[in-house]
Amino acid sequence: MYNAGVALESDSLERLVPDELIVEESTGGETLRLHVERYEFAAREACKGRVLDMACGAGYGTRILADAPGVTSVVGVDISEEAVRYATRRYAGPETRFISSDAMQFSDPEPFDTIVSLETIEHLDGDPQDFVQHLRTLLHRDGVLIASAPTTPSVDVNPNHSHDFTPHSFRKLFQDCGFREIECFRQVQAVSVAAVLRKNEKRMSGVRKNLVAYYATHPAALARRIAVTLRHGFNNHYSTIVWALVDE
């Protein structure tokens, strides 16, 4: 279901481990800053009560959520047993615990007041709508779901991504699943083209190996990349949106 692998690889594009990042690199300190800002936004928007952090990775964001006012407990879930072991050692506490599980298999006897799933949905092997519907079954009727994704193309560069989103398609996915938008947090990250081409940053080892060959067999991806570059330059855009269930 989730194709980011199971290892806690600090030199990949998929696993941010703050203690092991090279701060000066764009894929290090700058990327961590963007992720922390998303979690801080989610913490401000979280409801009082129980929180689920789905695809929590190394657990630093789960800790941010646990420290939010009114939050009584947080469960961090990740498919990687190694990531869960690390998160438990580094960030667990009386109100914070970590569980290794595939996202689509995870269940809990009590609903969550807030569900957070940041930079997850673009990795899904299956239909993203199935994932959103599953999260809906875990959410309290009066709760909020907070999700983020890149809204500029990423599949071409990152082989761990399976889905590209635009701001429109990302919103439509949740709206079609019975959610209404409450708040949106947008971010822009400048991309170092030289670092991507040279792959001289630690976490650049995960960039697709032969982009020319990929574009040759995926001309639509090349067309999307050209169109987005002409519009936005060499920048990645991200949206983090707070959703509530549509009133019935």
Which two structure tokens, joined as six digits, stand for 221? 């991806």
Residue 18: per-residue pLDDT: 63
Tens-binned pLDDT, residue by residue, of the chain (248 aa): 444 444 545 444 556 666 554 455 555 578 888 999 999 999 999 999 999 999 999 999 999 999 999 999 999 999 999 999 999 999 999 999 999 999 999 999 999 999 999 999 999 988 999 999 999 999 999 999 999 999 999 999 888 899 999 999 999 999 999 999 999 999 999 876 666 555 555 656 677 888 899 999 999 999 999 999 999 998 999 999 999 999 86
Residue 30: per-residue pLDDT: 80
Residue 4: per-residue pLDDT: 44
CB atoms within 10 A of CB 185: 18
Provide the greatest CA pair distance for the chain.
Answer: 53
Contact in structure between 158 and 213 (CB atoms under 8 Å): no
- What order of strands is seen across the sheet that includes strand 139-150? 96-100, 71-78, 49-54, 112-118, 139-150, 235-245, 179-190
Strand partners, 146: 116, 242
Residue 8: per-residue pLDDT: 47
Residue 222: per-residue pLDDT: 95
Q: Which CATH code of 3.40.50.10800, 3.40.50.150, 2.60.410.10, 3.40.50.2000 fits the domain covering 18-245?
A: 3.40.50.150
Residue 190: per-residue pLDDT: 85
DSSP per residue, 11-28? TSSS---GGG--TTSIII
Cα angle for residues 224, 225, 226 (degrees, 5° grid): 95
